[in-house]
Amino acid sequence: MATIREYFDADFSYTARLHVKLPDYRSDVEVTLLYDFAAFIAFVACYVPGDQYPLQEFLQLIEAMQPGKSQVTVNFNDKVTLPDTRAFPGLLEVRNTNPFGLRAKFYGDPEWICTDEIQTSTRVFIYTESRLTDNQISQLKQRGRDLEVRVQFRSIDHAEERSRNEKPLAFICHDSRDKVDIARPIALGLSKMLCPVWYDEYSLKVGDSLRKNIEKGLKECKKCVLIISQNFLNNSGWSKTEFDSVFTRQILEGSDVVLPVWCGVTKQQVYDYSPSLLDRVAVSWDEGIDDVLRKLYRAIE
């Protein structure tokens, strides 16, 4: 299951993100100004870490965001996250053109759209591990309306419900030793491109049946991203079991299920592991995470 933090990172991937500061509020709260160049609108999303904050904490947050009164510090030299235009047809390019802000251009349009042309909405999305009751959320929304702020509150309840209803499109098959450096960046990157994946850190919780859930993921997912590394080739345990299950499904369906990602392996090593794998067009991890994600996304979608 994806965490609320991962949803905060992945949601609104079609926008350009500018990380801003609220001088009158806690510095550990992440506040982002999101520019939707297609809709000509900007809005705010923030992440409040910690799971024990009461209603009063969130009331103070929206009071620090009052339109026309809050002094939000905007610095286009600070961290800016640009959308991946390859995942959104029509959007040609987005640039950070300091000191003039962000600019976007669409196919067939000779003009650039600048951030100073975009209207700022009063919409505010709050992501947090802290839970509030329905009554408390209603109070927060009402206080927001009083301050002309439209609040959308997303807690871990939101993450749990959303994860239950999202059907993953790709299964990430990997050796556990490749989790941090390879599997996790691929899983998070595809999620940000609005391509949900079955990935053990997202999809399993304490007490779940490992075998049952892995087999379910392998059966239901449209594709299997197979991370082939030295660690994977040397693993005769779960990785080998998953691999055998994937190829059994491919034979049964007669379709291309496997999307191999080669990570520091040779053709001979892959052939020694499984000759049939050489017949699958692969993407090389050496091409860089952006190209790997782009090619995987196209194959999955």
The whole-angstrom separation of Cα 296 and Cα 138 is 41
Domain check: are 80 and 131 in the same one?
Answer: yes
pLDDT band at 134 (very low <50, low <70, confident <90, very high): very high
Domain check: are 83 and 226 in the same one?
Answer: no
Domain check: are 137 and 233 in the same one?
Answer: no
% residues pLDDT > 90 (the chain): 29
CA distances in angstroms from 77 to 95, 102, 115, listed in the order given: 12, 11, 14
pLDDT band at 241 (very low <50, low <70, confident <90, very high): low
* 128, pLDDT greater than 50: yes
% residues pLDDT > 70 (the chain): 80
Last residue of a domain, one of 161, 196, 225: 161
Burial class (CB in 10 A: 0-12, 13-18, 19+), 206: exposed
* 175, pLDDT greater than 70: yes
Domain check: are 117 and 255 in the same one?
Answer: no
The whole-angstrom separation of Cα 204 and Cα 182 is 19
Domain check: are 157 and 189 in the same one?
Answer: no
**The dihedral sign for the CA sequence 90, 92, 95, 101:** negative
pLDDT tens figures, 254-271: 567 888 999 999 999 988
Angle at CA 86, nearest 5°, toward 81 and 89?
Answer: 115
pLDDT of 35: 92
pLDDT of 69: 59
Domain check: are 153 and 249 in the same one?
Answer: no
Which residue range(s) make up the domain with 199? 166-300
Lowest mean pLDDT among 133-137, 155-159, 216-220, 296-300: 216-220
Domain check: are 81 and 137 in the same one?
Answer: yes
Lowest mean pLDDT among 35-39, 123-127, 196-200, 264-268: 196-200
pLDDT band at 177 (very low <50, low <70, confident <90, very high): confident
Domain check: are 191 and 258 in the same one?
Answer: yes
**Which comes out higher in pLDDT, residue 210 or 41?**
41
pTM of the shown model: 0.67
The whole-angstrom separation of Cα 296 and Cα 188 is 13
**Most confident listed range (57-71, 124-138, 155-169, 235-249):** 124-138
Number of domains in the chain: 2
CATH number where 270 lies: 3.40.50.10140
How many residues does the structure list for the chain? Answer: 301
**The dihedral sign for the CA sequence 234, 235, 239, 240:** positive
Half-sphere exposure of 300 (CA within 13 A, CB side): 30
Domain check: are 202 and 66 in the same one?
Answer: no
Mean pLDDT (whole number) for 3-26: 84
pLDDT of 58: 95
* 300, pLDDT greater than 70: yes
Please give the mean pLDDT across all residues of the chain: 82
Burial class (CB in 10 A: 0-12, 13-18, 19+), 23: exposed
Domain check: are 133 and 258 in the same one?
Answer: no
* 164, pLDDT greater than 80: no
Domain check: are 86 and 18 in the same one?
Answer: yes
Buried-state track 133-142, b at ≥16 Cβ within 10 A, e below 16? eeebbeebbe
Last residue of a domain, one of 161, 191, 211: 161
* 182, pLDDT greater than 60: yes
Q: Is 234 left (phi over 0), alpha (psi -120 to 50) or beta?
A: alpha
Last residue of a domain, one of 161, 179, 212: 161
Domain check: are 24 and 146 in the same one?
Answer: yes
pLDDT tens figures, 33-89: 999 998 899 999 999 998 889 999 999 999 888 765 555 556 666 788 888 676 676
